[in-house]
Amino acid sequence: MKRFLTSMLILLMAAGLVGWTTGTGGDAIASAARTPALSHDGTVAVPPFGVGEQLTFEIGYGFVDAGTAVLGIPELVDHHGRSCYRILSVAESNSFISSFFHVRDVAESYLDARDLVSRRFEKSLREGNYRAHDLVEFDHDRQVAIYSERSEIIPLAADAQDILSSLYTVRMMDLEVGRSVFIENHADRKNYPLEILVVKKERVSVPAGRFDCIVVEPRMRGAGLFSHKGRLWVWLTDDELHLPVQMRSKVVIGSISAELASYTLADGSHPDGPQSD
């Protein structure tokens, strides 16, 4: 049981896997207000996310309700003269799990609002008696990651993202069944070249509603990214916003799942719940 909430959160994010909006009722969400157009690689782009967006997931371990994970963009911040989305995630065990093993893990990313690359990543883990903290600056000019705690400097792959900014990068990609998209990821002092395989389309129902989705599976290029832990599948809405609504992972010790329970869009709206066909 130890650290499975964190493992789930890392699985959800290191895969680069998540963007938010709905499938059923998708027309209403696609028209929701988002952030102004931004410059990206010399072109004009409108990212499918914005300040005020928040997603809440219910996390399960087998048939046990384990806790929640909340992801969102509370604000824009200035970081060394660059305007950045402050992306925040909090994973916490529920009262039942906390009665014998309390978990509260917080991760924060600064995503450059113009260049759409990570500039800073911080995580703080509280899992039972275990504590850990890490802060890393992404210097893309010098292509190094700077870890503050030990003053370490690690080579950084070109255009590398952290585990939170990776998921927003995938949201902006074209996803076509049978094809893969690729992204460079940096976490825990290592560079991970990720392949995101687009598996199929499927309609699913979760507490937040019914959604038409694209199912993706993250892999290392040439090998399974999570081969030592199991496999992960993520259901993203089949629209321009690619909202993550469900994640499932089969691991040695069982299965872990996350289902979208509620969400708020960047314009502050709260779309309706499940709809009939």
DSSP state letters, 7-57: HHHHHHHHTT------STTHHHHHTS--PPPEEETTEEE--S--TT-EEEE
Instruction: Give the residue ranges of the chain where pLDDT is below 50.
Output: 1-44, 222-228, 272-277
Q: How confident is the model over 60-74, as pLDDT tens digits?
A: 887 888 899 999 999
**Do 30 and 239 form a contact (C-beta atoms < 8 A)?**
yes
Share of the chain above pLDDT 70, in %: 74
pLDDT at 146: 96
pLDDT at 268: 65
Q: How confident is the model over 169-220, as pLDDT tens digits?
A: 888 888 999 999 998 989 888 898 888 899 999 999 999 999 999 999 987 5
Helix, strand, coil content of the chain in percent (nearest 5): 10, 55, 40
**Do 104 and 42 form a contact (C-beta atoms < 8 A)?**
no
pLDDT at 215: 95
SS3 74: strand
Give CA–CA dist 199/82, Å, rounded: 37
pLDDT at 97: 86
pLDDT at 218: 83
Burial of residue 56 (number of CB atoms within 10 Å: 0-12, 13-18, 19+): middle
SS3 109: strand
pTM of the model: 0.79
Show the tokens assigned to 111.
């995503």
pLDDT at 26: 34
